[in-house]
Amino acid sequence: MAVAADDVLIIGAGPAGLLAAWTARQRGARVRVLATGIGTTHVSAGWIGVLDAAGDLNAALDDWIAAHPTHPYALAGRAALEAGIAALRKVCAAAGLNYLGDLTGNYRLPTALGAVIPAALVSESFAAGDLRQPGVMLIAGPASWRDFYPELCAENLARQGYPVRGVRFELPEMAAASRFDLTPVGLAQLFERAEVRARVAAQLKPRLDAATRVGLPAILGLAQHTEVWQDLQERLGVPVFEIPTLPPSVPGIRLFNAFKAGLTRAGVPILLDMTVTRGVIADPKGLQRPFGSGVRASGVVAPNVVRAAIYQADTIILATGGLYGGGITSDRRGEMREAVFDLPVQTPGEPGVWFDDAFLARSGHAVHLAGVRANERLQPVDAQGEVLLENVRVAGRTLAGYDPIVEGSTEGVWLATGYRAGTE
């Protein structure tokens, strides 16, 4: 069963796919998004990492691109990264979610374990947590909540030389809200109640002592986030900042909701629970053709309630994720393939060299470099650089040749490649 053709069809509702969809719609294209699920937003911190570098981030990016000519940043270009950042700000601002920062340098932000992570852009509620700022911090969290331990966070930050204390506050509403441990979303909804914020502030304010800012788990409201955050700051009389928690990530959900709202207003359908099982590659006579110059994809196949449907489009953007997200598949022999069109995958040698003995090795794992090769138009190419499908673009984690964990480039790559794919 064929579905009416679109100008652009996005496969994947992760951040790269959502940005590509918004960008394509802004230039007047008819756009549709198909996805199995909601992508990585709900497990992300909500901040934007571009590159783990000290000092001038602009200069570091230029040096990085010069040294890595096949990196997604080099393929998409600096202009695409900067335009992607501008697009992010615009979409989020329309939802009342304001992002601060630029490419002049990284914020240094605490995690729930007291580690320090660089981020180029942060939503307003994270900014006061920048560890480059002086002053004593008070890290606070709900007593008995097993997803956030303020003392642990504070102790690990203190070991690194930061002046900080950890305390807990009572939140009796937790027991009334659920028989089980509340998720971050459940707590965020509790904080949207003024009496809850008043009770928390009344407990924390007398314990500020010399603290000039207060860090809380990222549970300061969902739909009413800005109101919650600002009200708590006013009650405490000092800046308040959020610290990411275990999934589901409230800041990540805010980001997803901002894009969903923007795409809905723009008339872009987002069809979830639509797992694309294969791509359709055919010549004008309807015969299957191999990859190669001039070969085009005509659509993709996704299950329907009654039968499989073929979604057709002039341009198809693969933003399906990497090995962990399902965009890249692997079998017991260690062979990898791209999941929709069965495109060849660039792999870093034999399976024996993919991993390190240490789970969190500083050098990363070679398997993270696996993905689909692409050219500067983000078309999939083979090892010799020949285009495999003329009207297909690849964005985000499906791309080969970078390790976002080691580089700190996760969000920056989806911004740059999502924007570039959406404009092609």
Q: pLDDT, tens digit, for every residue of 92-108?
A: 999 999 999 999 999 99
Predicted pLDDT of residue 66: 96
Where residue 356 falls among pLDDT bands split at 50, 70, 90? confident
Predicted pLDDT of residue 384: 95
Find the mean pLDDT for residues 57-72.
Answer: 96
Residue 29's φ and ψ, nearest 5 degrees, are -75, 150
Q: Taking all residues of the chain, what is their mean pLDDT, rounded to a whole number?
A: 93
- Is the pLDDT assigned to residue 334 strictly greater than 60? yes
CB-based contact 69:62 (threshold 8 Å): no
- Sketch out the chain's domains with CATH numbers: 2-96+254-423 (3.50.50.60), 129-238 (3.40.50)
What single string gives the DSSP state of each residue in 260-320?
A: HHHHHHTT--EE-S----EEEEB-TTS-B--S-TT--EEEEEE--SSS-EEEEEEEEEE--
pTM of the model: 0.94
- Is the pLDDT assigned to residue 177 strictly greater than 70? no
- Dist CA 380 CA 375 (whole Å): 7
pLDDT digits (tens, 9 = 90+) for 291-301: 887 899 999 99
Predicted pLDDT of residue 357: 86
pLDDT digits (tens, 9 = 90+) for 211-233: 999 999 999 999 999 999 999 99
Find the mean pLDDT for residues 173-182.
Answer: 74
Find the mean pLDDT for residues 324-341.
Answer: 89
User: What are the beta bridge partners of residue 99?
Assistant: 123
Q: Worst-scoring range by mean pLDDT, 94-103, 140-149, 151-160, 275-284?
A: 275-284
- Dist CA 40 CA 218 (whole Å): 17
- Dist CA 59 CA 101 (whole Å): 16
Predicted pLDDT of residue 353: 85
pLDDT digits (tens, 9 = 90+) for 5-58: 789 999 999 999 999 999 999 999 999 999 999 999 999 999 999 999 999 999
Find the mean pLDDT for residues 152-160.
Answer: 98
Where residue 411 falls among pLDDT bands split at 50, 70, 90? very high
Predicted pLDDT of residue 424: 87
Name the nearest CA neighbour of 402 among 99, 27, 8, 49.
Answer: 49
